[in-house]
Each structure stands twice: as C-alpha cells, then as structure tokens.
Chains A and B, each alone.
Chain A
Amino acid sequence: MKAAQVIMETGTKAAALAVKSARVDVVPGYPITPQTSIMEAIAAMVENGELNARFIPVEGEHSVLAAAVAASATGARVFTATSANGLLYMHEVLHMASGGRLPVVMCNVNRGIFAPWTLWADHQDSFAQRDTGWIQYHCSSNQEVFNTILQAFRVAEQINIPVMVNFDGFAISHCLMPLTIPPQEDIDRFLPPHEPEWRLDPAHPSSFSNVTMAAEYAPFRQMLSDDIMASIPLVKQAAQEYQDITGMWDGDTIDTYRLEDAEVVAFAVNSMAAELRLSVDILREQGVKAGLLRPRLYLPFPTEDIIDALPQNAQVMVLDRNYNFGHPGGILASELKSVLYGRRNDITVKNRVIGIGGIDLTRRFMADEIRAMMDE
C-alpha cells in the first residue's frame, strides 16, 4: 500500500489539488481575489497535462456558473470557485443548479462584500446564499478544504444537489500549512466515477427544464427541500468512510472541542473556529468550563446534532462574522435560536458580531469577548 504524501501548500492550492484528485472533467473559471490562485493552479495543471479536464475561461461569474450547469447536465464532473461579489453575481444561476438537480461543487473563498471594497474575510457572502438550495460546508483548515471537496463531490452526486465548500480568504487561502495527500487509489475508492442517472446527450435528444404547471412545479420544489434535509446522513457517511480510508477526520455535520462538560460554548464557523480551540484552552486555564461547537455544515443546518451535543444549561456564545440586517446581531445566532426554541429551553444564546472585513481574531481577543459576554 502506498503511503500518504505530506507537502506544504496554501489553502487555494489544497483546493486545486483536491480537484485534481477528484478527476474533475470541466472547470469554468473567472478570477476574483482571493480565489484566483485556485483557478491559476487548475489552469496550469490542465495545461501541463496533470489534470485531464477542460478549462473554460469566461467573461464573468454569471457565465461561469451557466457553463458549469451546462457541463454538469451532460454528465461531466464539474468544479468552479469564486468569492464575495462573484458569488453574488452567480445568485440567479445558483438556483438553476439546485433546481436543475446538478451536482456541481464550488469553492467560495469567503470575503467581505462590496460596498465599501474589502479584500479580507467575513461570512456575509456565503450566508447570503442560504435560500438558493445549495448544501454548504464551512472549513477551518487547509486539510479540511482538501478533504471536504472530495466529500462534497460524493454527497452531491449521490443526491443530485450542488455543494458549496467555503473557507476564509487569506487566513486559509493564502496560509501555507502541511497538507496530507492520500494515495490516488484510496481517493478513487472513496470517490468512484460520476455515473448520472440522466444526462443531455445529442445521440438521445431530450429537453431539460421546461415550463411546468403548479401541479408539477410544487412537488419538484418539495422534493428539493426534502432531499436537502436527506443529505445529512450522506454527509455523515461520507465523513466516516473518508476517515476509514484516509484516517483523517474534520467532524461530520459538526466538530466539537472540550464540549462534554462545558458550561460556556463558543459557536462559530471557519478559521476563527480553529483559533477558538486556543481560546477555549485559555478560558479553561482561567477556570471557565469552556468548549467549542463548530457547525461544519451550515446548510442543511445540523439541528439534531447540535441539540444532542449541547450540554445541559450551557450558555452558547455565538460569534458571527456577518450581519443579520434588520435584526440585532448575526445570522448564525438567529439560526441557532430558531432550532433551539421549544426543544432546548435550558440553553442561553448570546451573540456578538466580530471580525468583519478580516479584522484579526486572536485567541486572546476571543477569550476576552467570551468572558465579557458571560457577564452580560
């Protein structure tokens, strides 16, 4: 058996190497910071023959996703990537991909939204796509980006729903870290070739996405809603089997740290949730029974796993790197409160918006924030 290889790579290169490992067929692309180096790496791999795929440069993100949708409808395995306003420009076609039940996998490298311009990370861009019918993962390390892209293709192709794999601009995308690449035969065992039940094929002409009457439209939308919920066991199974084959584990729908006996629970996504492990250690040294719950899956929201994991009478400190405009605080807090209501009335939820536009979130700063929230 071949051994896994450990190299030093950035988060964007980790994403590109996962695309290569997934034997992707088609990659439409358009540059936007901080995603651009994913597309540069993939274009180079296609050019030098490392990746046997078609790279399609197009004139904007709306067309990127239109090309991805069309390629996916022919049965190809399709990947693309974007950030911030690029993702917003795709918004209409995001609905086409999910409604069309096309298993595209896309990385969104989280970046704050214009205006005013910012280059650095917050989570307004991905959370703003909540209602587009995509499954959404949020990753907290370079290795998790690599692992999750492979898991995302598996889940997407099993249930015919597109998957967005999110991770922070710069803090992950341009951070050089050790990356373990499992042997290709192990990855091939985990992710077999894409065999769609249906595809557009000139040899067998058919039409796709016709006008439907309400009697057809409504059940189709219901099926999409039901299948998004039904993806949760597939997400868990993918994480488990990936661990069985590669030995690597990033959590399944959620990831936890020192949670079992916690009285104060930090709740956040992406790279700040990795740093929060260190904040939890600081708080524990100060005598606070702290723990961490990180939703790895944002959509579908892992309701049952969160409800099962939260210790009795815990204070949950939700640290949102986004705004829920029209409400005080952020989107994650709102989501969490809605699933706890009537089911876990022992839990107190407190919320702060921090780290907007890439404001640096250190372990000491977040530990201090959580201590301050305890007194509120």
Chain B
Amino acid sequence: MLELRINGFGGQGSVTLAHLLAQAALENGEQGQALPFFGVERRGAPVRAAVRMSPTTIHAHSQCDLPDYVVVMSEKLTEAAVGEGITEFGTVIINAPQATAVAKHPTWHVDADTIAREAGLFSADGPFINIPLFGAVCRVLNIPHNIMEQTILNKWPGNSGARNLGAAGKAYQTVTQISV
C-alpha cells in the first residue's frame, strides 16, 4: 500500500488534488482512497489530506502519519510538512519557484505556480496549482501519462478539461528529481 500526504494552505485545492489522485489509482486498475482532514478550515490555514493506493482493498482509515510521499503545496511548508512525519527514505515533492532538497529524502521539484499561470489557470485568489501538481505527482508515482489525462477528462469533460490537460501535462514533463 502506497501512502501519501498532501500538506498545503486552505484554498490551494488540496482536497481536489487528493480526489484526483485516488481517482487516478482506480483508473490505473488499483484501489484508491482520498481522506482529507476536515476541521475548522480557513483560507490560508495549514491543511492536509491523506491519499492511499493499493492493488488490494484498503482497510486503513487514519490520516497518513508516516507516508511514503509528502506533497508540499508551498515551499513555506516544507519543514513543517516533513516534520509531521514521513518514512525514513520517503520522497518529498515540492512546489516552489526553486526548491532546496530535503536532507536524507529523495526530493522532486515542480514550479506549479508558473505552469498554472501560463495555462491561464488562476483567479483573483491565485493560481490553481493543484492541476499541475496532479500531473507532477502522477509522474513521480509512475502513473502513465494517458491515465493522468483520462482522470482529468473524466472530471472535467470539454474545454476546461483541455486547459487542465495542458498544465498537468507540462508539469508531468518538467517535474525534476533534485536529490536521491
């Protein structure tokens, strides 16, 4: 069973990212689970969501306290996110203009803000970074490109889906491993 935790700020779309990843697992012929932590959310407050993928039935229903992967929606959260718990050699995926590798952990970097803005995916509140991050995480987890695309098209058929595809596809291509 693969376990992943998303650490972000309220309003960055962590819940949708968790749902997309769980849906991609099902699309990929596995079982998927998205378990966001709901509380007294406020825009800008730290939020988290658990994601699990497994070839067999998932029985876990706790938040991922020791995940194999941590997705950091903003580099401001890197230290806090990793500090919440990760397996000994767990992988960190960071959204930042430029990322610094996390000591002892394989680290990947993607500039989701820029990719989202260039694709026109933003509102007055900021860029929709969960779409490029979905593409980037799929690449890191070796989820095939066509499964990533199909998951987006299932959720957003039509034009908005196509715009999302561009941003997710660019992140899938450009996410880079910066440490092993």
Binding site for B on A (CB under 8 A): 6, 8, 34, 119, 141, 168, 170-172, 174-178, 271-272, 274-275, 277-278, 360-364
Contacts and interface: CB of A to CB of B under 8 A. Distances in A.
Given A8-B22, A178-B26, A274 B61 contact: yes
B60 A170 contact: no
- Sorted nearest first, the 4 A-B pairs with minimum C-beta distance are A271-B61, A176-B34, A362-B62, A171-B61
A22 to B, nearest CB: 24
Interface string B33-45: 1111111100000
12 contacts: A8-B32, A119-B40, A141-B59, A170-B35, A170-B38, A176-B18, A176-B32, A177-B31, A272-B61, A277-B59, A278-B59, A364-B65
Given A275-B59, A275-B60, A277-B59, A177 B38 contact: no
A175 B35 contact: yes
Given A6-B26, A176-B19, A360 B34 contact: no
A6 B29 CA distance: 11
A172 B23 CA distance: 17
Nearest to A272: B61
* Highest count of chain B CB atoms <10 Å: which of A174, A176, A363: A176
Contacts of A168: 61
Nearest to B19: A176
Contacts of A277: 59
Contact of A363 (B32, B39, B62): B62
A160 B153 CA distance: 47
Contacts of B18: 176
Contacts of A174: 35-36, 38
* Highest count of chain A CB atoms <10 Å: which of B37, B59, B60: B59
Contacts of A172: 61
A168 B58 CA distance: 16
Say what secondary structure dominates the interface of chain A: mixed
A176 B22 contact: yes
A171 B35 contact: yes
Contact of B23 (A8, A175, A278, A360): A8
B32 A178 contact: yes
* Highest count of chain B CB atoms <10 Å: which of A34, A172, A274: A274
B176 interface: no
Interface string B135-153: 0000000000000000000
Contacts of B39: 119
A119 B19 CA distance: 22
B21 to A, nearest CB: 10
